[in-house]
Chain A
Amino acid sequence: MAANQVGRQTITFGILPRLVSMHTIVGTLEGKGPYGGYFHEVLEDDLLGQKTAEKAERQILENAVNEALRKGGLVPQDVQYYISGDLLNQVISAVFSARSLGVPFLGIFSACGTFAQGLGLASIMLQGGFADKVMVATSSHYQTAERQYRYPIELNIQHVPTNQHTVTGAGACVLATEGEGPKITHATFGKVVDMGLKNPNDMGSAMAPAAFATLEQHVQDTGRPPDYYDLILTGDLGRQGLKMLHVIAEKKGFALGSNLQDGGALIYGNDPKVGAGASGAACSAVMTLGFVATQLYQGKLQKVLLIGTGALLNQLTIQQGDSIPTVAHAVAIEA
Chain B
Amino acid sequence: MKPQEYQALVKENQPPRAIGKNVFLAFLVGGAISAVGQLVLEFVSGVERTTDEAAAVTLAIMILLGSVLTGLGVYDKIAEKGGAGAAVPITGFSNTVTAAAMEFRREGFILGMGAKMFVIAGPVLVYGILSGFTVALIKAVVLGYF
Contact = CB atoms under 8 A, between A and B. Distances in A.
Interface of A: 51-52, 54, 147, 151-162, 194-197, 202, 205, 209, 240, 243-244, 247-248, 251-252, 276
Nearest to B88: A156
Interface in B1-20: 1, 3-4, 6-7, 9-10, 13-15, 17
Contact of B95 (A52, A154, A243): A154
28 contacts: A151-B99, A152-B103, A153-B99, A154-B75, A154-B95, A154-B98, A155-B76, A155-B96, A156-B75, A156-B79, A156-B87, A157-B76, A157-B80, A158-B79, A158-B81, A160-B17, A162-B14, A162-B15, A195-B3, A196-B7, A197-B6, A205-B13, A244-B9, A244-B13, A248-B6, A248-B9, A251-B9, A276-B15
Contact of A152 (B6, B87, B92, B100): B100
A154 B22 CA distance: 20
Given A157-B76, A251-B1, 8 more contacts: A151-B120, A154-B99, A155-B95, A156-B87, A156-B92, A202-B14, A240-B13, A276-B15
A244 B10 contact: yes
Interface in B63-122: 70-71, 73, 75-76, 78-84, 86-87, 92, 95-96, 98-100, 102-104, 106, 120
A51 B103 contact: no
A247 B7 CA distance: 12
A155 B17 contact: no
A27 B81 CA distance: 24
Given A52-B106, A154-B75, A196-B3, A205 B10 contact: yes
A132 to B, nearest CB: 41
Interface of B is mostly: helix
Interface residues on B, range: 35 or more
Contact of A155 (B15, B84, B99): B99
Given A152-B120, A251-B1, A159 B7 contact: no
A153 B103 contact: yes
Nearest to A147: B103
Nearest to A153: B103
A228 to B, nearest CB: 25
Interface of B: 1, 3-4, 6-7, 9-10, 13-15, 17, 22, 70-71, 73, 75-76, 78-84, 86-87, 92, 95-96, 98-100, 102-104, 106, 120
Nearest to B102: A154
A162 to B, nearest CB: 6
